[in-house]
Amino acid sequence: MKTVRQLYEEMSTQKAADGENPKGFDQAQLDCLLDPGFEAGDRLYEPSGDVQASKDVLPVLKVLSEEPGEVFAIIAPAITGQFEGVADPGKIRSSLKAIGFKGMVEAAAFADILTLKEALEFDHKIHDDKDFMLSSCCCPMWISMVRRECPELFDKMPASVSPMIAAGRVVKHMHPGATTVFIGPCMAKKKEAKEVDIDDAVDYVLTFSELQEIFELAEIHPADMDGDEKEHSSRSGRIYAFAGGVSEAVQATLGQLNREGDVAIRAKKADGALECKKLLAEIKSGEATANFYEGMGCKGGCVGGPKKLVDSAAGKEAALAYGEHAAYATPLDNPFILEMLHRMGYETIRDFIEKSDFLTRDFGVSKAAILQP
């Protein structure tokens, strides 16, 4: 069984042989998660006791004022293009650090890891034309709908956590005692963070509108900040922002696993509650002929989430552009991810599948109320 590092080295050698220029691991990319460089004196905003803010904004301001330097932000892939004049997340990172966050981690980097996990699950479980699986790694509304309407399909869904939960767990593993704040376009994520089997990962969930509110309170204009860009995520993780992104990412990664004579992936996606319900009915009736099903509760995926700040077409365009700028195509190309897996003690792919507790959940113990689509 190959180590993660060997796999990366082999792929780099192959790319070099193909005339491509593989990018090595850049220590400067470790900032924010593996080697944060926070200076308390850099903080531009001092929260005062008398601010008027919405319900979930106040506790975050409180924790930032009480524990400066110990709070990490986790941003959803759909954040690109949401704030005026801000195309890439680098300016958001500078803005969050100015408020007092120690670092900003892209959930897209953990979407990379979960893409690799889902590709390996597919390779492991799908062996003939009758086998199929449902993606579980992203949308809490989709998971709730499957749980409520098609419990008989539940065992076709790997018990993977979402990129948000994986990111929170890794941050807390690497920085014991840290507080984590997820920022996205989604209301359902507030409830997901409290589900009993995964409530160890994320302490607060803010929406883009709530982050906007904080920027306004702090008089921070992200567009005017310096861009603190990092290459933590590959194209695969970045395109989780829109419907079809998960399937495309898993398909691209699976294509790199050198599988021979095995079943090809046939992906089908649904977005929006009605489409998701229709797709589940098709799967139940046996009419659906794909072998990998992706559901997203919002029309267009997360770029169409209820707390988006721009319309979903503009959000998708920005997410696609950010994906195209990625230095790496998939998690298997991404040395940041491979370095992180290595540092977390995963030496082989088998280790990764069998012992990745921080990537798995126990749906059986989750007693959270089922979310309404």
The footprint of ligand SF4 (CB under 6 A) covers 138-139, 141, 185-186, 188-189, 296-298, 301-302, 305
Q: Which is nearer to ligand SF4, 47 or 81 (CB)?
A: 81
Q: How far is the CB of 231 from ligand SF4 (least distance, A)?
A: 24
Which CB sits closer to ligand SF4, 138 or 165? 138
Mapped onto helix, strand or coil, the DSSP state of residue 327 is coil
Which of 104, 156, 102 lies closest to 125 in space, CA to CA? 156
Instruction: Assess contact for 115 and 246: CB atoms under 8 A.
Output: yes
Nearest distance in Å: CB 174, ligand SF4: 25
Residue 348: exposure state from Cβ atoms within 10 A (0-12, 13-18, ≥19): middle
- Residue with Cβ nearer ligand SF4 (201 or 302): 302
Residue among 112, 134, 129, 133 at smallest CA distance from 256: 112
Distance (Å, rounded) from C-alpha 165 to C-alpha 168?
5
Residues 6 or more apart whose Cβ sits within 8 Å of residue 66: none
- The least distance separating ligand SF4 from the CB of residue 110, rounded to whole angstroms, comes to 14
User: Residue 268 belongs to what H/E stretch?
Assistant: strand 267-271
Minimum distance from residue 36 beta carbon to ligand SF4 (Å): 27
Decide whether 63 or 296 has the Cβ nearer to ligand SF4. Answer: 296
Cα distances (angstroms) measured from residue 65 to each of 74, 145, 172, 257, 361: 18, 39, 19, 47, 32
294: tokens are 């992706």
Query: What strands lie across the sheet with 71-75, from one edge to the other?
Result: 103-106, 71-75, 179-184, 204-207
CB of 296 to ligand SF4, least distance (A): 4
Residue number, 63 or 246, with CB nearest to ligand SF4: 246
Q: Smaller CB distance to ligand SF4: residue 301 or 335?
A: 301
Could you give the 3-state DSSP secondary structure of residue 50? Answer: coil
| Angle at 226 (CA atoms; ends 225, 228), nearest 5 degrees | 120
Looking at beta carbons only, is 9 or 275 nearer to ligand SF4? 275
To the nearest whole angstrom, how small is the minimum distance from the Cβ of residue 305 to ligand SF4? Answer: 3
| Min dist. Cβ of residue 286 to ligand SF4 (A) | 26
